[in-house]
Amino acid sequence: MSGSLIMVGVSGGVDSSVAALLLKRQGRRVAGLFMKNWEDDGRLGECDADRDRLDALRVCAALDLPFHTRNFSSEYWNQVFTHFLAEYRAGRTPNPDVLCNREIKFRTFLDQAHELGADKIATGHYARVDEADGRYRLLRGRDDNKDQSYFLYTLGQAQLAATEFPVGELPKPQVRELAREAGLVTHAKKDSTGICFIGERDFREFLAQYIPAQAGEIVTPEGVAVGEHQGVMYYTLGQRQGLGIGGRRDADSQPWYVVGKDVATRRLIVAQGNSNQWLDSCRLRADEASWTAGVAPADGLRCTARTRYRQADQTCTLEFAGTGLNVHFDEAQRAVTPGQSVVFYTGEECLGGAVIAATDAPYGGLSAQG
């Protein structure tokens, strides 16, 4: 075994375990680094960080890899969590996984790997990188059901050049089988879901520890009060569950959906029906654009986009305006949510993305001329 060192971000999950396994089998010089990104004070129950660290250590021991651990909790708090709270206070629904990838996994971790002597890093993300004519491309993972390029759109040329995604070519069942055959303790471990620092805990209870809940009215678009809520921050556009307003005598049996939020008046706006027009939009405004090529594509580009993870690709046109961009969709989109990301593709390549600021839905904040 010789050559430059590659540092694997071992999370204690099966995907990063198999990433390390595959690199080891290639005869590479491999080490593992476990990142602790959250300090839990125990108020809401124990987090799984200690168990995950132990699983990561066991995997590295089984593969005879050097094991490192670093605490990035301070960086995570300052660069990810404070933004998360600010977005919720403003009534938006943020995506902390995107920011965590940009600020922690592909900046802080990459810097730390370099300090430990590694030339490159690897993670268990389901994505791929290739290079042609000196330009690196971020590609979708082969497993469409697990593709994570949506969360990686902020990676630029420097990050892509220094990163490998060993499991990006594989379907998830094969990843688990490889781990089982190698006797890795993570082979049957449940995939992590939800926001990393919340884990299996109740989201409302967690958020209330940092942002005091402010109750208010639930109203229809016509202004008719139909209930009360404990805080608009707890709801997202298109949400159906947990509204507590079903079975009203003055309404039919169709389900209710969140269609808007008014933070100033603490009003949560809801409407009935799966096909109500209050959630539909054909255009959005986005800011904080990031392009994997390092430069923006041509104005008027025709491509596809996703406004949420695992959404089917939607055909659109990009129009650059000032520091932001407008995205015009060929067909109306459902429940496009400010604070989330819109991510752009041409075929299998992820071009980049931006943060959704407003839409032309009735409560989307984007005027007909905006």
Predicted local distance difference test score (pLDDT) of residue 128:
98
* Model pTM score: 0.93
Sequence spans of domains, the chain = 5-181, 213-272, 279-359
What residues form DSSP beta bridges with 121?
7, 163
What does the block give as tokens for 27? 């005869």
Task: Please give the average pLDDT of every successive group of 10 residues along the chain, which has 370 residues.
Answer: 88 97 98 90 56 96 98 94 94 93 97 98 98 95 96 98 98 98 96 69 84 93 94 92 76 87 95 90 97 96 97 97 93 96 98 97 75
CATH topology of domain 5-181: Rossmann fold (3.40.50)
As annotated, the active-site residues are 100, 196
Predicted local distance difference test score (pLDDT) of residue 344:
98
Predicted local distance difference test score (pLDDT) of residue 43:
42
CATH C-level class of 213-272:
mainly beta
CA dihedral sign, ordered 198, 186, 103, 364? negative
Instruction: Tell me the per-residue pLDDT of 169-222, one tens digit each, with 9 for 90 and over.
Output: 999 999 999 999 999 999 999 887 666 666 666 788 888 899 988 999 999 999
For 174-207, b where at least 16 C-beta lie within 10 A, e where not — what string? ebbebbeebebbbbebeeeeebbbbbebeeeebb
Predicted local distance difference test score (pLDDT) of residue 204:
84
Give CA–CA dist 95/80, Å, rounded: 10
CATH superfamily of 279-359: Translation factors (2.40.30.10)
